[in-house]
Amino acid sequence: MLVEIRFHGRGGQGAVTAANLLANAAVREGKYAQAFPYFGAERRGAPVVAFARISDEPIQTHSRIEHPDIVVVLDPKLFELANVTEGLKENGIVIANAREKPDVGETFKVYCVDATSIAQSIGLVVSGWPVVNTVMLGAFARATGLVKLESIIEAVREQFPGKIGDLNANAIMKAAESVREC
Amino acid sequence: MVVKTLTGNYAVAYAVKLARVNVVSAYPITPQTTIVEKLSEMIEKGELNARMIRVESEHSALAAVYGAASAGARAFTATSSHGLLYMHEVVWWAAGSRIPLVMAVVTRAIGPPWNIHVDHQDILDQRDSGWIIAVAQENQEVLDLTLQAFKISEDPRVYLPMMVGLDGFILSHTTAPVDIPDQELVDSWLPPRRQPYIIAPESEVVMGNIAPDEDHFMMRYSMAASMEAAKKVIEEVDREYGEIFGRSYGGLVECYKCEDAEYFVVIMGSWAGDAKKAVDTLREQNVPVGVVRIRFVRPWPREKLLEILSGAKGVLVFDRAVSMGSTGILFSEVAQTLYPLNISLKGLVAGLAGVDVGPSRIEAEILKFIKQTEEGAIYTPTEWILPEKYAGRYPSSPKEVIAK
């Protein structure tokens, strides 16, 4: 089965890294995966997207994802700034960095996690920006069951060894505990 | 052997490391930059014992590795688009001097208007230069092909430089699982570089000097002969690589679901994957279609294509590069190959500047072509698939603007 995922973030927030880490985690479980950015003329702070595919079989296609099964939204403001549910499949899943349910209509399954507060509470902040991308992957793993939490943590630790890896692992677990359908 | 999720660019870097390259030189350009960034990191960490030569331009980058290779080093560079055009003079120098080298070309549109996304205009602009030119479909193939490039380029029957193309962003910045072979196995398969002479300060050899016209002529003749010989070497290396590392790609071309096919899509690069997906769907509806993926543009796989396509009812060529004033570049190559045969033939120019062409569009084009052919063989050299945004209308021409 092929699952297509779109990440929405703001330039510098790590949407591309999140997509890459998710692919890495899936490959660790023997699945096939692909992650890719879309580069327009974005600058730090502007809305950006990144994509991932996870499948039990080798992935042939390289075209853009028009109809994702899941969208992950890294910043609550993006619900106002971008059309985050564009093309999302009916009964698609939204995983939101949000305290309360964002206004995306009633047809999607929506999960909320306050990733910003989790990152801030454990000091996962870089240049004043709470690091929410890895946190959201913890919520993703728990909400979808597509990849194991351990695989996400392993992928994150590979890219960010040492103390930063520990902080991220901690945040990922906290996100998995607190993510709720909303 | 270890499986890592790597971008296409990192797959290149890992292959270069496995090939124990001695000298790397490059100038940054999107989307190539992360190849040499990774190599630089490998050198800095002591994982790769090589010299990184920093230069002020792509022209100098290729000149630096060309010099290093002339002196006997295994050398590598990488570039894209405008960087490759800026190198163009040295591209010819390296091939004409018969210096084995490997260069990764992260394929990207040529401006203006400025664009960083994929098409094949840059790499195909080099096709007459005497380099072996190959283009990969997937990140795994990027690694395998880059490794093979050293073996092919340095083979005494070939002795020509080789470019390995990988699609900008679509492969260069996309992560996918890549199986990295063991160093010992690579060492046992890829011998140290050998060359008939080296140019060093104490050696009594000159290169690039003015030569009698007849000698120049004969150099060209010998390059052409080596290009022909390279066909056999490429097939050999692909087979041998398969036996040792477990992956073969079909040599000069890959044939997908060709056995009982009556119609064929000819395509090159990452979107061949989308064509395969389209063919999978059509095969479920009993449409007899296959994909011929061009892996090597130079040497052009004439004999192999004739073998595959001579019984075809129709051949549909997808081009991601166009020769202005003529046709898509692959189309003209395919057309001259099939010249004596009466086969329905159509060329599509699409996907320039990274404009997305997915499996459903390819599927529709195949069905349209089959329908046209069933009404009588056609010969349509160029049809453009316009981006959705512009479907059915053209931007203003200078004449219209002046008239206003």
Structure tokens at A45: 């702070």
Is B253-390 the same fold as B2-245?
Answer: yes
Q: What percent of chain A shows pLDDT beyond 90?
A: 87
Please determine, looking at this structure, whether the domain spanning B253-390 carries the CATH number 3.40.710.10. Answer: no
* Global confidence as pTM: 0.95
Residue A163, chain B, CB below 8 Å: the answer is no
Contacts of B356 in chain A (CB under 8 A): 63-64
Chain B: closest CA distance from residue A34 (Å): 5
A126-130, B72-76, B142-146, B187-191 — which is least confidently predicted?
A126-130
Measure the CA–CA gap between A138 and A151, rounded to whole angstroms.
Answer: 10
Name residue, tokens 């030119």. B133
Measure the CA–CA gap between A14 and A83, rounded to whole angstroms.
Answer: 19
Architecture of domain B2-245: 3-Layer(aba) Sandwich (3.40)
A37 and B359 in contact by Cβ < 8 A? no
Question: Half-sphere exposure (CA, 13 Å, Cβ side) for B317?
Answer: 30
Measure the CA–CA gap between B153 and B78, rounded to whole angstroms.
Answer: 16
CB neighbour list of residue A25: distance below 8 Å, 6 or more residues apart: A137, A141, A147, A148, A151, A152, A154, A155
Measure the CA–CA gap between B120 and B118, rounded to whole angstroms.
Answer: 7
Tens of pLDDT, residues A39-78:
776 566 788 999 999 999 999 999 999 999 999 999 999 9
Q: Where are the domains of chain B?
A: 2-245, 253-390
Model pLDDT, residue B243? 98
DSSP B280-325: HHHHHTT--EEEEEE-EEES--HHHHHHHHTT-SEEEEEES-B-TT
Interface with chain A: mutation pick from B7, B116, B174, highest number of A CBs within 10 Å: B174
- The complex's ipTM? 0.91
Tens of pLDDT, residues B334-368:
999 999 888 999 999 999 999 999 999 999 999 99
Residues of B at the A interface (Cβ-Cβ below 8 Å)? 3, 5, 116-117, 167, 169-171, 173-177, 270-271, 273-274, 276-277, 280, 356-359
Measure the CA–CA gap between B392 and B397, rounded to whole angstroms.
Answer: 15
Adjacency order of strands within the sheet including B51-54: B51-54, B23-26, B75-79, B102-107, B162-167, B132-135, B296-298
Structural domains of chain A, ranges and CATH numbers in brackets: 3-181 (3.40.920.10)
Q: What is the mean pLDDT of chain B?
A: 96
Tens of pLDDT, residues A11-50:
889 999 999 999 999 999 999 999 999 877 656 678 899 9
Structure tokens at B212: 């009698």
Contacts of A19 in chain B (CB under 8 A): 175
**Across residues A81-97, what is the average pLDDT?**
95
Pairing of strands A180-181, A109-113: antiparallel
A33 and B176 in contact by Cβ < 8 A? yes
